[in-house]
Chains A and B, each alone.
Chain A
Amino acid sequence: MADLQLQDIIKPENRVYGKSKVLTDKPMHYCYGCSHGVVNKLIAEVIEEMGIQDKTVGVSPVGCAVFMYDYIDVDFMEAAHGKAPAVATGYKRTNPDKYVFTYQGDGDLAAIGTGETFHAVNRGENIVMIFINNAIYGMTGGQMAPTTMLGQVTATTPYGRDVDLNGYPLKITELLAQLPGAAYVTRQSVHTPANVRKCKKAIRKAFENSAKKIGTSFVEVVSTCNSGWKIDPVASNKWMEENMFPFYPLGDLKDSERLDIEQYKVQKLKK
């Protein structure tokens, strides 16, 4: 054993983990501690493992992930703010054999794009929707999001989110789970290795569902934004666990093996 040198260990057959081929070599611009980088990586890994790089098209949002197409090496469409589900709908309807995924933050998906989000899921579009919920507007400098917690300090709630002034944190994922068009709705996080593995499984399931044409698959990832929250990365994880998980509990909200569409197929109603 004493003779074993480092260069003897670094061999392809000994490799246990590596960067996905679907990830580019471009260094990510995300902040240290941000969840975006991890979720971007998981999507790339799932695409590689499923062997669908040439059949997958992503829709990037307006927000911190706007440049995600620089990291995930598939064809991409950059959507207007909030409109990713509509863009994905137009693409998927005219290209039913492609895998189409959207990737949106809380402002994009649950504020400006609420209408598009609801109706895409309600139509049961056979797309994957990834929702990064970090309870803040990261890119524009840390303003209140629809999912911001009560009492949470942001640039536009400097005294904490006040229910009289700002209303309630929006559990959009719970609402979406009520829609018959939603096949799979889950809430995940990526703050521990175990959670990263679970989240990857969820993303994989969402992509697999897309080919089964059983409705929309929706993966929320409760995330940290240490820059926006102005807390260091380690403390951010703790803050998320203590403040967000009780309100946004992790786990599957809905998991249909198939969309029971037959029960909704009715004859033309008589006048």
Chain B
Amino acid sequence: MGDLRLMKGNEVIAEAAIRCGCDGYFGYPITPQSEIMETLMARRPWEETGMVVLQAESEGASINMIYGGASSGKKVMTSSSSPGISLMSEGLSYLAGAELPCLIVNVQRGGPGLGTIQPSQSDYFQATKGGGHGDFQLIVLAPASVQEMNDFVDLGFELAFKYRNPAMILADGVIGQTMEKVELSDYKPRWTEQQIEEMHGSWAANGKKANRNQHIVTSLELVSERQEKFNQKLQAKYRKMEEEEVRYEMIQCDDAEYVIVAFGLSARISQKSVDILREKGIKVGLLRPITLFPFPTKIISELANRGVKGFLSVEMNAGQMVQDVRLAVNGKTKVEYFGRMGGMITNPGEVADVVESKLIGK
């Protein structure tokens, strides 16, 4: 049994980082996630676990500091919110191209541009379709509770190192700012230099030993044949993630005639909509993708084959995930979208009404 606390999602990210043996956090303040670095600075983990925390001069610097730390095989992370993540796009591409494991947290706010500081899910495309130039994917985890903000830090690092690929926690302003009861993870010690050598010594730039060739962390390859081969290797990695790492939660889907698909905060809201509709005798279920990449395509396809009459994708954006739901359903049945934008948050009653009007057609 871990340590039970009442904490904000953002604070939990910081605490979970310290406890999972993270070696370094590099970031730049932006609402609504500044509590992450503030909590770390107040906690002074460098005195406790040796974890480094640094306020960088920009998001562009932060993501490249991550590149530096990750190159040595250490567990490093950054966090930001939507406009800041855009500034990190270049770095994300380089990290993926250099196959560096690391963790990026995006506590989303509404855009485009400077937009609003209120919660949003409008970075779904950016997060799940790579988020920078070139063919690459991030592993994307979508927490729907403060508890998952704790759990996904460790999980994010685990998957990042398993696949040597950057992982992203795609949260939103509500999950970041809400306080809920959370069971904090137990402390894990930071990896020793020897453990890093054993686990990641085949690639990490941790100092050229006499008995090995130099390690070069790079995403540069001017010979097209070799670059294509590398790209094929990346794609094989992504296909393996699709086979092995899909995570989702199904609520009352067993007998469901209609299924709401929603992640993060939208899933929490929609869960209450399911309760409202079930009380009226309407058989509605909720499918909550936990990994947005890899996306739970198979189970959605199975639900469509099983005879679900319609899907509603509920998102705090103009309809982004709905495209992936449609690809999964592949024309077998109706797929609708409902969402709010610009920092507006939908509510359980609104979603329930849309299920009735758009899916059932009352």
Residues of A within 8 A of B (CB): 53-57, 59, 66, 69, 73-80, 83, 86-95, 98, 115-116, 118-119
Contact = CB atoms under 8 A, between A and B. Distances in A.
Interface string B216-235: 11111000000000000000
Contact of B220 (A66, A83, A94, A116): A66
Contacts of A53: 208
Given A77-B217, A91-B72, A95-B74, A86 B207 contact: no
Contacts of A88: 68
Nearest to B74: A94
B71 A91 contact: yes
The CB with the most chain A CB atoms within 10 A, among B65, B206, B208, B218, is that of: B65
A159 to B, nearest CB: 33
Interface string B49-72: 000101011101110111111111
Nearest to B95: A80
Given A115-B57, A116-B57, A76 B68 contact: no
B69 to A, nearest CB: 4
Contacts of B91: 80, 83
A113 to B, nearest CB: 9
Nearest to B53: A93
Given A83-B60, A89-B54, A90-B26, A77 B65 contact: no
B154 interface: no
12 contacts: A54-B208, A57-B72, A75-B205, A77-B67, A77-B68, A78-B218, A86-B56, A86-B65, A87-B67, A94-B23, A95-B206, A98-B72
A78 B67 CA distance: 10
B220 A89 contact: no
A96 to B, nearest CB: 9
B280 interface: no
B50 to A, nearest CB: 10
Given A54-B207, A75-B207, A77-B205, A94 B61 contact: no
Contacts of B210: 54
Contact of A90 (B57, B60, B66, B219): B66
Given A80-B64, A83-B64, A94-B76, A69 B216 contact: yes
Contact of B72 (A66, A86, A95): A95
Which of B24, B68, B216 gathers the greatest number of chain A CB atoms within 10 Å?
B68
A92 B215 CA distance: 17
A90 B76 CA distance: 9
A127 B347 CA distance: 52
The 5 A-B residue pairs with the shortest CB-CB distance, nearest first, are A90-B68, A90-B65, A78-B218, A91-B68, A86-B64
Given A73-B208, A78-B216, A80-B91, A116 B61 contact: yes
Contact of B207 (A78, A83, A98): A98
Nearest to B98: A78
Nearest to B68: A90
Contacts of B65: 86-87, 89-90, 93
Contacts, number: 128
Nearest to A118: B57
A90 B69 contact: yes
Given A74-B214, A76-B217, A78-B219, A90 B64 contact: yes
A118 B58 CA distance: 12
Contacts of A90: 24, 26, 64-70, 76
A209 to B, nearest CB: 19
A75 B56 CA distance: 25
Most buried by A among B54, B67, B74, B94: B67
Contacts of A57: 71-72, 205, 207
Contacts of A74: 207-208, 214
B214 A93 contact: no
A73 B214 contact: yes
Contacts of A94: 23-24, 52, 68-69, 72, 74, 76
Contacts of A86: 56, 60-62, 64-65, 67-68
B92 to A, nearest CB: 11
Nearest to B58: A115
A116 B52 contact: no
A89 to B, nearest CB: 5
Contacts of A59: 68
A222 to B, nearest CB: 27
Contacts of A79: 64, 67
Contacts of B58: 115
A91 B205 CA distance: 10
A76 B76 CA distance: 18
Interface string B190-217: 0000000000000001111110001111
